[in-house]
Structure 1
Amino acid sequence: MRISLAWGRVIFALSGYALAAPSTKFKLKESIAVPRGWIRRDTAPRGLTIDLRIALPQANFPLLEQHLYEVSDPFHERYGNHLTQEEVNELIAPPAESVDAVRSWLADHGLTDSAISRSPAGDWVKVRLPVSLAEEMLDAEYHVWEHASGDTLIRTTAYSLPEHLHGHVELVQPTTLFSRFRPQRAMFHFDQEGQSSTAADNAPAINVPSASGGTVDASCNTTVTVTCLKELYNAVGFTPSSNGKNQVACTGYLNEFANLADLQSFYEDQVPAAVNTSFKLVSISGGQNNQSEPGGEANLDTQFLFGITFPTPATFFTTAGSPPFIPDILTPTDTNEPYLDWLDFILNTPNPPQTISTSYADDEQTVPKSFAQGACAGFAQLGAKGVSLTFSSGDGGVGDGDPDPATQECFTNDGLNKTQFVPLFPPSCPFVTAVGGTIHVPERAVDFSGGGFSNYFPRPSYQDIAVPRFLKKLAPGTYAGLFNPAGRGIPDVAAQADNFRIFFDGRPALIGGTSAAAPTFAGFVSLLNDARIQAGKSPLGFLNPLIYGINLIQTGAFNDITTGNNPGCGTPGFNATIGWDAVTGFGTPNFGILKEIVLGL
């Protein structure tokens, strides 16, 4: 497919960028090998507009991280004393000399303060400018790149900065970020029989000692509903408050729209009390919620997350921007960076929802390490303010969900094409809770459950006991060289991840993936937050120190999953086992026990 470059023939008046930059000595800031699956096409249209984002150093981030762990550690005296946005901003504010150096650099290129936007803390700067000026400022060459899937991006494989700026700029994007940030969905098919989820099943109830009442309806073995999840995870009878003190949200990207009529059908089918209620829609960067184009991912996220948590006030964040991007006269601005826009927005929101679920991710290796670290620092800021973040761990087992069709192996993106397991980002960030998947009742690991170890982030301290125990169970030499045993382990927890009954375009359908597990787990986190907030306590915030701390004292707060594995990259993957494992983490939640624990903190 040839990309249209009609825009490149349009004369672009650079009236606002007339000043010439002074003579500058450049030094390479970042370069990458051409990522696998991408082909370079034409030179990027010089008049194409991009939003250049510049990250400045956060001088006191280690102190912010210290605060985060103290307020998130259930055994620390500061537990639950989250920081205000002002306190967070003060900790991440860049040094004054970095602010001045970047401002002068931009001014040298005719970009004054009126053309620049900054984050409240000043650690991110954004400026809209044509590709021609970005190339001049970064000593770079942008091209149109096309992925085998048809997605297109405007990127460069290397960029430089004036030598004196290297200590004042952490990263600049969009440059080397080739991430496709896709929804994590393993399967989607219509329920041809169209049976109501409330239809009686002749089979006897399944004995599950940890479940509400000790049993789960037999129909839950093939069709998962809100009722099934509340039975299985011991939450029957708990009704959260609707007073607005507790809030829950999920994110939507890539033209995934949540259909309101389908939501009502879902509520009629599974949550009758919620009929005629809806969610708050928050548009970011012009995000839409087109009712003529229902999205399977968006419907799944909103229906189950908001069904589990009803009547908790709910929000659907819809962020504009979607590949493929074809630069031409009608689309003069590259808008396929939706994830950065959402992160900008939520970091600037004084009182965000206390629980936010995201079911989108990409291979860690397609994300420049500098970008992953910067985004991960943003998640730390949210955790310090009391926000719990869940991300689906992936649908490719230990692989990337998109293995080479000829060899069924996974390759590195460093130009060496080595076989290697492929963790996902953002789940690999140690400041979020990664959710793997289970299937059936009694539960076992679902075979697509993403799991493994980060190649970017070292093992966080909260994993220092659980993860080495798992690694010691592996036979000597198991998968040597295929994963990083010193990396952050994925996932942290799990939840049901297949055969979820949703409504799509007016019809019942079954859908699966860890994109079902993440909103499910987030739903029960939100219920825990409600219990704490109604008791006059703070929300849970960053969950992982609590999760790992709970399991060090063996409370039964999680249902340990000990069967199943997550094949990928031509291997059987890891096995679920007693304790934490790289398939299901610590397992699935027991809400009743968790509620008593968190109310006692």
Structure 2
Amino acid sequence: MARGKQLVHWKLKTPPVDADCRSQMQLSCYSPNEIRTAYGLNALLNAGFTGAGQTIVIIDSFGSPDPLKDLKQFDADYGLPDPPSFKVLHPLGTVKLDQNNSDQVGWAQETDMDVQWAHALAPEASIVLLTSPVSETQGVQGLPEFLKLEQYALDHHLGTIFSQSWGTTEETLFTPAGKKAMQDFDKFYEKATRQHVTLLASAGDSGSVNPDVNGNNYPFPTVGFPADSPWVTAVGGTSLYADTSGNYQRETVWNEGTGSATGGGYSKIYRQPLFQKRYLPSTLYNQSHGYRGIPDIAFNGDPLTSVPVYLGFMPEPGYYMFGGTSAGAPQWAGMIAVANQMAGHPLGFLNDTLYKIGSNSLLYNQAFNDITVGDNKQGKVGGFSATQGWDPVTGWGTPKAGFLIPLLAQPPR
């Protein structure tokens, strides 16, 4: 499963200031304004494209004790408006947080991060949080419940952008029950796409190495589900270097070399979809042996170039610094809310348009930051390196939102 990577607690009662994080903790802690500046979103927000009229649906296990209270504190500290609507729904039941259960605490942290950072990039979009009483771990566990939640969201027309900050190693689903779970999700994803729903998923946080259901790493490169599904837009992770005003400097592949890095690689079950076959060079088809490559896009995910999340339920309430590709999925969800508002309708399936833009040499460097430095290799297990254009580590790269979002809203022909 992909879940936010917590690094450090900000001990002061005030919200963290990036310059202080750098001097006192030797890490960045980007504010919402810094992230929006780095990726070129502020001009659109200032022009009134704030996600208004859109709803982001977030799916997590367990949830957080009081995500709205924590969001309100985050908003007050960073000068953000509260969302026009925030709903927490538990159609399958709830589980009370046990502070001694690290799995539940981890999901509560993930939930607050998803909510706060989807909102940070689309401050006037509504949010619906759906929680499951079953933990999604590895293999089939937790997936049927998540599918029921997503089906509930679709049946009740709760929103048109689904953020999925979770996943399981693809190989853990190579069983009859696992294959059925993938097939059930893909049928649902196809149905949701036909109803103009955008599906986003994090690519994973352990590089090219992923565990089996017993926690033992596979000795060969693997990818995660549902990021590998061709219906889903998979989000990889970078290390973002910007100044303390948020001015973009450079980015590399996020790889700490100690088991934490962006997921990415090639599926062993999904054949290369048409949007990749059509827009990627034939040399990549040969490298992939004809299978789906992920991620499609990327976003800042390094815990050392972190984002702060307010956690009021912790024994020491306050701000904690997070990274991970599971931070990128909700932030992309926020940007798609902005794009939907600009388009005047839900964009739905993104990959055709993303790959059309990426393959156009006149548009690509205006729409994306091309990440060309780094890899997601882990130890003796191979991995993949960033290259010019699309690669199975950071996809097309990270957004230059001021140019990319209008292109998504009105795709090139």
Give yes or no for TM over 0.5.
yes
Report what 2:165 is aligned to: 359
Whole-angstrom distance in 2 between the partners of 1:434 and 1:225: 24
Normalising by structure 2, report the TM-score: 0.80
CA 1:598/1:242 → structure 2, altered by over 3 Å: closer, same or farther?
A: closer
| Structure holding more helix per residue | 2
Matched, 1:595 2:402: no
Q: What's the secondary structure of 1:251's corresponding residue?
A: strand
Alignment of structure 1 residues 6-85 onto 2, 5 Å: none
Whole-angstrom distance in 1 between the partners of 2:143 and 2:232: 24
CA 1:568/1:561 → structure 2, altered by over 3 Å: closer, same or farther?
A: same
Matched, 1:345 2:152: yes
Q: 1:464 aligns with which of 266, 274, 277?
A: 277
Whole-angstrom distance in 2 between the partners of 1:387 and 1:220: 40
Report what 1:552 is aligned to: 359
Whole-angstrom distance in 2 between the partners of 1:410 and 1:507: 34
Q: What's the secondary structure of 2:167's corresponding residue?
A: strand
Given residue 514 of structure 1, which amino acid in structure 2 is its aligned partner? Answer: T
Given residue 110 of structure 2, which amino acid in structure 1 is its aligned partner? Answer: E
Q: What's the secondary structure of 2:42's corresponding residue?
A: coil
Alignment of structure 1 residues 161-560 onto 2, 5 Å: 182-192=1-11, 196-198=15-17, 222-239=28-45, 240=48, 245-257=53-65, 259-270=67-78, 272-275=79-82, 279-287=86-94, 295-322=108-135, 337-349=144-156, 351-367=157-173, 368-400=178-210, 410-411=217-218, 419-441=219-241, 442-447=250-255, 448-468=261-281, 471=284, 485-498=289-302, 499-505=306-312, 506-533=317-344, 538-554=345-361, 555=363, 556-560=366-370
> 1:470 Cα deviation (Å)?
6.0
Given residue 427 of structure 1, which amino acid in structure 2 is its aligned partner? Answer: A
Contact 1:254 1:322 in 2 (8 A): yes
> 1:393 Cα deviation (Å)?
0.3
Whole-angstrom distance in 2 between the partners of 1:236 and 1:323: 35
In the comparison of the two structures, how many residue pairs are matched?
371
Whole-angstrom distance in 1 between the partners of 2:66 and 2:37: 26
Whole-angstrom distance in 2 between the partners of 1:185 and 1:552: 31
Q: What's the secondary structure of 1:495's corresponding residue?
A: strand
Larger radius of gyration: 1
Q: What's the secondary structure of 2:90's corresponding residue?
A: strand
Whole-angstrom distance in 2 between the partners of 1:202 and 1:252: 29
Report 1 or 2 for greater relative contact order, CA contacts < 8 Å, sequence distance ≥ 6: 2
> 1:443 Cα deviation (Å)?
1.1
Q: CA RMSD in A?
A: 3.2
Q: What's the secondary structure of 1:301's corresponding residue?
A: helix
Whole-angstrom distance in 2 between the partners of 1:202 and 1:258: 27
> 1:463 Cα deviation (Å)?
0.4
Whole-angstrom distance in 1 between the partners of 2:83 and 2:279: 45
CA 1:571/1:284 → structure 2, altered by over 3 Å: closer, same or farther?
A: same
Whole-angstrom distance in 2 between the partners of 1:318 and 1:530: 26
Whole-angstrom distance in 2 between the partners of 1:256 and 1:243: 24
Contact 2:51 2:340 in 1 (8 A): no
> 1:274 Cα deviation (Å)?
1.7
Whole-angstrom distance in 1 between the partners of 2:394 and 2:187: 25
Q: What's the secondary structure of 2:386's corresponding residue?
A: coil
Contact 1:258 1:302 in 2 (8 A): no
Q: What's the secondary structure of 1:547's corresponding residue?
A: helix
Whole-angstrom distance in 1 between the partners of 2:286 and 2:134: 44
Whole-angstrom distance in 2 between the partners of 1:245 and 1:576: 37
Given residue 307 of structure 1, which amino acid in structure 2 is its aligned partner? Answer: A
Contact 2:254 2:301 in 1 (8 A): yes
> 1:458 Cα deviation (Å)?
0.3
> 1:269 Cα deviation (Å)?
2.1
Report what 1:19 is aligned to: none
> Which range is displaced more, 277-286 or 573-582?
277-286
Contact 2:16 2:319 in 1 (8 A): no
Whole-angstrom distance in 2 between the partners of 1:542 and 1:472: 22
Whole-angstrom distance in 1 between the partners of 2:21 and 2:292: 45
Whole-angstrom distance in 1 between the partners of 2:376 and 2:28: 20
> 1:313 Cα deviation (Å)?
1.6
Identity of aligned residues (%): 27
Whole-angstrom distance in 2 between the partners of 1:382 and 1:357: 13
Given residue 374 of structure 2, which amino acid in structure 1 is its aligned partner? Answer: G
Normalising by structure 1, report the TM-score: 0.56
Given residue 233 of structure 1, which amino acid in structure 2 is its aligned partner? Answer: Y
Whole-angstrom distance in 1 between the partners of 2:50 and 2:240: 32
> Which range is displaced more, 487-496 or 572-581?
572-581
Whole-angstrom distance in 1 between the partners of 2:379 and 2:88: 39
Q: What's the secondary structure of 2:321's corresponding residue?
A: strand
Whole-angstrom distance in 2 between the partners of 1:436 and 1:238: 24
CA 1:289/1:551 → structure 2, altered by over 3 Å: closer, same or farther?
A: farther
> Which range is displaced more, 443-452 or 293-302?
293-302
C-alpha offsets along residues 429-450 of structure 1, whole Å, 9 cap, x if unaligned?
Answer: 0000000001121111101100
Point out where structure 1 has 5 or more consecutive residues left out of the alignment: 1-181, 204-218, 325-333, 412-418, 475-483
Whole-angstrom distance in 2 between the partners of 1:553 and 1:456: 29
CA 1:567/1:470 → structure 2, altered by over 3 Å: closer, same or farther?
A: farther
> 1:521 Cα deviation (Å)?
1.4
> 1:296 Cα deviation (Å)?
0.7
Contact 2:9 2:319 in 1 (8 A): yes
Given residue 387 of structure 1, which amino acid in structure 2 is its aligned partner? Answer: V
C-alpha offsets along residues 29-61 of structure 1, whole Å, 9 cap, x if unaligned?
Answer: xxxxxxxxxxxxxxxxxxxxxxxxxxxxxxxxx
Report what 1:136 is aligned to: none
> 1:558 Cα deviation (Å)?
1.4
